[in-house]
Amino acid sequence: MKTPILTLPDNAPPSFHMLAKPTGAICNLDCAYCFFLDKEVFYEGSKFRMSDDTLEEYIRQLIEAHQVDDVTIAWQGGEPTIMGLDFYRRAMALVEKYRRPGMRFLHTMQTNGTLLNQEWAAFLKEHDFLMGISMDGPRELHDVYRVDKGGGPTFDKVLRGIRLLQENDIEYNVLTTVNSVNADYPLEVYRFLRDEVGTTWMQFIPVVERINEDGLTLRQEGDHVSDRSVRPEQFGRFLSTIFDEWITHDVGRVYVQTIEAALRNWLGMSSSGMCVFNQTCGTGLAIEHNGDVYSCDHFVEPAYLLGNIHNKHMIELVASPEQLQFGQDKYDRLPQYCLDCDVRFACQGECPKNRFILTPDGEPGLNYLCAGFQYFFRHADFGMKIMSELYRRRREIREVMPIYRRAFADVGRNDPCPCNSGRKFKQCHGREHQARHVGLPTLRSQSRSELTANVS
């Protein structure tokens, strides 16, 4: 066993988030848009299972590296449940072995939920896990891209996993990837998750697949995206429609991560709670099954490999000049178009992985989703200001609901929008009020084996 380092680097952050991938890119599903499954080519010949030695080094160093009492231990994949329960029982024992007095641990896991059973539920409940379950909406939308290795549907298995968590009172949230298909059905997705699944915490993550020169999506390279990728304006309308539904009916009982983060930025808080909407990043890293540490979960590729915890202590990698520069570049590389933007305080350029198009004046580094985020944040501004004022007055933020409903009641389509945008209601908030679908489409499931079409 290595001797623990005695002195932390001067620039070491007091805490950070390390996302562990004990199975690497290996998964029991074959979701068409998954950005991680192809990463197995970086580890040819690997068994893709974290060894006991690597597990112990990971837990020990993670605890040693934290200067605060609260530590998050996060598992993802691939599919982390493939490792089996005994692996995580060993992890819990190691936490007890290396914890310092007064330390508190938050155990989290992102899973597709298909392998969960009652034995898993008992373990997760015992250790108070926070679970993330991936679901893309109703069956007709979920099964388009979230398929098994044979190209078959997974909706029923995922829903069964969610019901298991609910029945055992295990805290969970739902992560929905927003793609070119389900993005056209924001109300159907949101209402399904709220009313039929019964979740009270939702994450909406945009699918942006960059096409490399060889036609693959292995690296964060290329300025074209796949046909599965959500379109910028489409994503903006998706978020705006959900925002209107939420702020009208669900404030205080349903939590939408993007909305929560936006409100924090409207309030001028020190952190949005989401790395993509903070001014800088760099404290959300990823560790592979063999101990390799990368700058970010979205940058698991050779150019962003910081080192291996078997050769250098984790905190030295977290506080390395390369990683500090990676995080600072989120701000330093913003084009002037972003610096001058009226909603930059809310967006902060979003994730660097999506900054691959040109600004209107030809400067590189603009976020592919820029038009969508501008649409959403400008649309949400009216409601965000009301909620911010309620918060500052120490009032219940849920009081925004009747205020918001009254503001848009009995407004004619051609009347000025009450949000003071200067546009007609039908061209502003009225557009989202009128965005309603009847029924869901009949769609064919698509696997990763199908050819990816390019769009400009």
Walk along the chain (456 residues) in steps of 10 and give the mean pLDDT of each run: 65 97 96 86 94 98 97 97 98 98 98 98 98 98 97 98 98 98 98 98 98 90 96 98 98 98 98 98 98 97 98 98 98 98 98 98 98 98 98 97 94 91 88 60 54 32
CB 158 within 8 A of CB 112: yes
pLDDT of residue 145: 97
Residue 109 backbone phi and psi in degrees, to 5: -150, 130
What is the pTM (predicted TM-score) of this model? 0.93
pLDDT of residue 456: 31
What one-letter code names the amino acid at 200? Answer: T
pLDDT of residue 6: 54
Q: Is 342 a catalytic site residue?
A: no
- Cα–Cα distance measured from residue 94 to residue 96, given in angstroms and rounded to the nearest whole number: 5
Nearest Cα neighbor of 309 from 73, 67, 88, 55 is: 55
pLDDT of residue 60: 98
- Cα–Cα distance measured from residue 431 to residue 409, given in angstroms and rounded to the nearest whole number: 14
pLDDT of residue 448: 42
Q: Taking the mean position of all CA atoms in its chain, how far away is CA 308?
A: 25
CB 380 within 8 A of CB 244: no
- Between helix 232-249 and helix 257-266 the angle, nearest 10°, is 80
State whether residue 109 is helix, strand or coil: strand
Catalytic residue among 297, 332, 361, 381: 297
What are the CA-CA distances from residue 284 to residues 13, 73, 396 (Å)? 11, 12, 32
CB 82 within 8 A of CB 23: yes
Residue 308 backbone phi and psi in degrees, to 5: -130, 140
Nearest Cα neighbor of 293 from 311, 309, 274 is: 309
State whether residue 331 is helix, strand or coil: helix
pLDDT of residue 422: 87
Distant-in-sequence, close-in-space partners of 215: CB < 8 Å, separation ≥ 6: 452
CB 349 within 8 A of CB 42: no
